[in-house]
A and B are shown apart, each in its own frame.
Chain A
Amino acid sequence: MVSSLFINPFSEDAREIVRNYGSPDTIFEASSALLETVKRTRGQNLDDNSLLPGSIGELAIKRLEWYLRRQRRGFDHGDYAYLMNPDIEEYDVIAFYVLAQAAGAGFRGGSREVRLVVESTGALVEDRFRVLGSERDEIIEEVLIELGSEGTRWMELSELIGSGKLRLTDLILHRGRVVIDEDEFLVTFQDRITDRDPRSLYEALVGLELKETMISRIIMQRTEDYIARVAEMSSTVEPHPLILETAERIGETVNEVTPFRGGQVKTAGPGKLVPDAFPPCIRGTLDGVKSGNRNDAIVLLLTSFISYARLYPSVFRDRTPLKVSDLDPDLRVIREEILPIIYEAAERCEPPLFEDDPQEKLNITAKLGFGVHDEPEPEHEGESKWYTPMSCEKIKIHLPDLCRPDELCRRITNPLTYYNRKRWELHKGKSEQEGED
């Protein structure tokens, strides 16, 4: 029988296991019981010993490595089959805490490493739901009770809502609470539901899918909060040396799998900008924008578009988060090509952006991932996120005046996708023309 531990590291049971385990002194000691469980997993590749975690610490790193590798070509599920084996749950819970503590002790909040640890936690939860089979419903109910989501208010999910991971309109809301529990649903809405079976309506609206999304999002949020608490504590209490060692391993793993400059990232790599392939909204922004829309157009839309188009146009295909310096190590391209384009467009606005709002320069730096500073400096990288271009849907809302869709716009959902598609079309057109001669 599977228990909720397999999904939720924040239950009382999970905490109990971690308490009983005690200090991290033994996390890198070989555990034959763990190794046995790993080896006994159906479908596990056994021909390469480096694939098999022999200790809690190694298992912690494997959780992250799995996440980084699974988005790659040639990923073999058999390399990590044990992560989907409920029998590892007790080791896995400890490994989770080791990983989270290491992330908190070793990296800044908002850094790529912390983000990847949080994302990997959510991805594991989602994938594990799929292997639960007949016990899925019960585990979901159990975890929801453990997480106390009966009382979840939508505001606690506001980060997920803001980042588009969860849509407010998909939640059943009543007086600020997210209605997830069946009885609460029936009591709350019975009077309104007249011509159909309330239970089947509940099943439809608050389906397993929504519950799973909620669970994985809440666990991600709690993981992030936990990491932040650890980070705060590590400023006063020296972290355990083995936790710091694990942090180093996290850094190595992230760098190894998402390497610098091109490398294993399939299509990444800086290239010259092709202005002819810019979508209408970008061309409009480059021409200069009148008041109202001005700040968002330059800071949010243009900054992210130009930087990604120049350095990493395939970000949505590769889905590997990189830093600017991964692609432009000495920030030369950023300083000499990208910023001048953005600043010039800002100058062309009416009134010129920086005359009116000089602090927007700081925001542009921040959107490139270098925190709130005048200009991008290597030592500030990671203080903020390198923003990917907003979607067409968002542009329509935030910058309606700039959205003048053409034929190609109808087939894409992001200006960067437009750029890639158009570049390819232009390229194709050119070679066809050349063929005619």
Chain B
Amino acid sequence: MAMQFYASPEQVQRDRSEYARKGIARGRSAVVLTYEGGILLVAENITTLRKISEIYDKIAFAAVGRYNEFESLRRAGVRMADMLGLSYDRRDVTGRALANAYTQTLGAIFSETQKPYEVELCVAQVGATPEADELYRVTYDGSVMDEPGFMAMGGQAEAISNVLRERHDTAADLQTALALAAEALGSVGGENGQTRTLTAKQLEVAVLDRRRQGRAFRRLTGTALTTLLGHESVPEAELGDVDAAPPAPGEAKPTISAASSDTEETPDEKS
């Protein structure tokens, strides 16, 4: 039988914190900042697995750390928001309620389980003016902070935050805000402290568009993103569609049965 050694609660909490912090610092960063037309969310991400997502009409989610852990929290957020919206009304779904659920969940996981979640989240809710925007930072131990219009998470978040703090401007337009975000993310991680220039391929970008009715989340990809990164503006209509790619073209198969086309013989296959 294994010997049980005593470890003081302080020591246990310290160890867990250190473990989580190390895990989060290993990953790449994400920044969220308000601008004149809404809230901009940018993550350094070369994969197709997403760190930024729509939660509800005016609410978006950004996360860094372990993908499997924040993905399950993202799903929980979408489920909770949709359930609240159906039970009450779409206007009654708030970022604060979501941030609350996340803090409770992460806090419980941190204090009750062996391994804390190695994640940091942002719940962003866009308002009518930049002053009415809400950014909540939820950390691995269930702490929550209300951020003043900009935040950076993951990797060398402190250094990135400093760049944002100096130059963040709520009156900036979208391409200026995006340039600042890309520059802040590129200010760390270069060889020998060099800055990096991040391209459209290395960034995952989305906005919560202040002026839109209904679902405000728009993902920026392709030519729209390249144009914006080149410091040129993009007309609002071309900001991309809601976050849903259309399905692949239908094949010539019977749609009513669950069959695949290769289970039916075509005349020319008959020998």
A and B: bona fide binding partners:
no
By a beta-carbon cutoff of 8 Å, the part of chain A in contact with chain B is: none
By a beta-carbon cutoff of 8 Å, the part of chain B in contact with chain A is: none
